[in-house]
Structure 1
Amino acid sequence: MSVNQVVLLLLLPLCFAKSDVTFKNVTFRGYSVFTEKFKKVIPASNSLKDFLPESTFDMIEFRDQNIPVLYEDSLSNLDELDELIIESCSVYEIRPGALKNVPLLRRLSLKANKIEEIKGDIFNNLPLSTLDLSKNRITTISPTAFDYMSSLLNINLADNQISVWNPSWFKNTPLLTRISMQNNSITVIPEQAFHNLEGEKKFGKIDLSINLIFSYNKIEKIHPQAFSGLKKINNLWLDHNSIEEFDGDLLKGVAVKELRLNYNQIKCPTGDLSEMFRAELTSIDVNPLDCDCLETIKDWKKKTGKHVELFYADMECTTQRIKKKMTALEERIKEIRSMDKETVTNVDLLPAKPIK
């Protein structure tokens, strides 16, 4: 075998090897206190760090670029970065280790990409307080994907294709107080769904309470112990789902500020109304509520002074009552007209009296 052939054989694996280059002809901008400070182009590199100028900045933004894969170390060693935005960039995969040594990174937005799976070892132990993964194509999330995020306050998973809620998520996230899951495909809220959110939450001296946003899903069933362990919920939004039953004991012992159950399939709440409507504000409007059940709720509401929104449900039942009365009136008019016709017919059949 000639020397040239040997060299060719040695080079072949390199020719066919996949190049881990995250940034190819990509433009990004740097900001300081919301003011643009620079605009740079990365011709080809797997390191953002190598293209950062010496100037002061706190935010980096990639928008409307083509960055299919965030490879390991691509977003590492960003010592001073506070906010990183990678939006509408066709990202479909994030490799473990893509984000390393970002000690001040407070907010990360990967909104409006094509991500389908969230693996473990991507976000764990990062100092993020806000993580935005909304408007992707996420169907699969590792049970450990969001563990050990000690500063996480807010996570946005809205507008994805998530069909299963895993109670194992969010282990050791002591500050997490807002989960946005609207516009997904969740069908069941399982037992102890939020047990990793239990416990007192404080940010410094500020008391925090949980916000669970599950509007516009496909929820049909809520396990009787779904909210077990929680003591306080600020907003519990379950509107625009397919819930048929909401037992009063579901929220027993939980202080709730706002409960949204409107636009579901609830016909009549079961159990103790004082437990079901324990929130400061409850919206149960636009459900196929049984009208007798509605009257019971209205009477209870009047006695207790609780704020329960029933405007459209009440209007619907009023309309039904009016329709029933109108139908009954129409039937009665038909009967009277029929009786009048029979009377006239009987009179016509009477023999004529002789003329004297």
Structure 2
Amino acid sequence: MKEYVLLVFLTLCSAKPLLHPSYLTLKNMMLKDMEDEGDGDADNSLFPTREPINPFFPFDLFPTCPFGCQCYSRVVHCSDLGLSSVPSNIPFDTRMVDLQNNKIMEIKENDFKGLISLYALILNNNKLTKIHPKAFLTTKKLRRLYLSHNQLSEIPLNLPKSLAELRIHDNKVKKIQKETFKGMNSLHVLELPSTLLELHLDYNKISTVELEDFKRYKDLQRLGLGNNRITDIENGSLANIPRVREIHLENNKLKKIPSGLQELKYLQIIFLHSNSITKVGVNDFCPTVPKMKKSLYSAISLFNNPVKYWEVQPATFRCVLSRMSVQLGNFRK
């Protein structure tokens, strides 16, 4: 019996944890995040720096771990196991769950219930078609969520406001609802499906639109960026969405008409009211090439801007449907 116990002890001491490539990448990112946040609580860190109480037993001899998974230092690896559902006995203090490369079709309401310390969740390359609206109700510290290469038709509802990174490309999402990302002040990495037809990012805190922001969304038809803090739209940004029909940029801080509108031949509706636009050029909306075919505008809103509307040339709106399609109005502070 003594020989058996000694053999088990030696095996445990010499065993090494399974280190997945995704684990190594996320580990570096998480450590950096914790440094940035100035988290000095070693008990709450994902990778504790404090020495264990008993140096001879650096981890529990009989840890609670889902069958077939690898568990170490508050990380649960359950990838490539052919799982059809989320394991039910994930430890409550888990900081990262890796469930990629399985056959999970649905995330249920209580799959992650009680995981209040969860920081990263990897669900890439499953068969997900449905995520319960309350699935992330208790994961209020979730920072990184990977859902790419699945079959989701919509972005999950009620995402944690703590989210800093969401990757959900290569799914079947066609439309992003207006309220999806509301209140997510820390979201800085966002990968969405390239098949999007509608993207609504209204009521956020976006300050600039850069050249690469819409490069993947060639089929986009409706773009909502209203009620943000946009001061600048980089030249050429809108050329990346040549099929767009409707753009909302109202209630921002733009000082000029975005460049490239005249080249969007399908654009019919553009909302620019309640900005800081001071001038409207004669070629800001309509093409300068005579033979270029352009859909007529049905709505151009410019009211509540400091524009001297009496200085706007009539030819500026030569490609609108009718006089009623343009709203200038007076600027009032």
Pair in the same fold by TM > 0.5? yes
**Are 1:94 and 2:144 an aligned pair?**
yes
Which of the two has higher C-alpha Rg?
1
Deviation at 1:191, TM superposition (A): 1.5
Structure 2 counterparts to residues 323-334 of structure 1, below 5 A: none
Corresponding residue of 2:73: 17
**Are 1:215 and 2:250 an aligned pair?**
yes
Q: Does the C-alpha gap of structure 1 residues 172 and 50 become closer, same or farther in structure 2, counting only changes over 3 Å?
A: closer
Deviation at 1:165, TM superposition (A): 0.7
2:229 to 145, 170, 185: 185
Partner Cα distance (2:117, 2:182) in 1: 16
1:77 to 118, 126, 139: 126
**Are 1:123 and 2:171 an aligned pair?**
no
Partner Cα distance (1:20, 1:236) in 2: 48
Deviation at 1:51, TM superposition (A): 11
Corresponding residue of 1:44: 90
Q: Which structure has greater helix proportion?
A: 1
Corresponding residue of 2:182: 135
Partner Cα distance (2:273, 2:212) in 1: 24
Deviation at 1:44, TM superposition (A): 3.4
Deviation at 1:83, TM superposition (A): 6.8
One-letter identity of the residue aligned with 1:211: E
Q: Which structure has greater strand proportion?
A: 1
Structure 2 counterparts to residues 190-269 of structure 1, below 5 A: 190-198=234-242, 201=243, 209-223=244-258, 225-227=259-261, 229-253=263-287, 255-268=296-309
Deviation at 1:123, TM superposition (A): 2.7
Q: Tell me the secondary structure at the aligned position of residue 58 of structure 2.
A: helix
Of all paired residues, the percent bearing the same amino acid is 16
Q: Deviations over 1:259-305 (max 9, x none)?
A: 1212222223655323246433112224259xxxxxxxxxxxxxxxx
Superposition CA RMSD, Å: 4.3
1:107 to 146, 154, 163: 154
TM-score normalised over the length of structure 1: 0.54
Q: Does the C-alpha gap of structure 1 residues 141 and 50 become closer, same or farther in structure 2, counting only changes over 3 Å?
A: closer
Corresponding residue of 2:29: none
Q: Does the C-alpha gap of structure 1 residues 268 and 163 become closer, same or farther in structure 2, counting only changes over 3 Å?
A: same
Q: Deviations over 1:234-273 (max 9, x none)?
A: 3211122222222231112253221121222222365532
Q: Does the C-alpha gap of structure 1 residues 85 and 165 become closer, same or farther in structure 2, counting only changes over 3 Å?
A: farther
**Are 1:272 and 2:308 an aligned pair?**
no
One-letter identity of the residue aligned with 1:268: Y
Q: Is the 8 A contact 2:102 2:125 kept in 1?
A: no
**Are 1:282 and 2:326 an aligned pair?**
yes
Q: Tell me the secondary structure at the aligned position of residue 263 of structure 2.
A: coil
One-letter identity of the residue aligned with 2:220: L
Structure 1 residue runs without a partner (length 5+): 22-39, 202-208, 290-356
Q: Deviations over 1:67-124 (max 9, x none)?
A: 7757343365235x167646884465234xx21442x3221144564156446xx133
TM-score normalised over the length of structure 2: 0.58
Q: Does the C-alpha gap of structure 1 residues 115 and 184 become closer, same or farther in structure 2, counting only changes over 3 Å?
A: farther
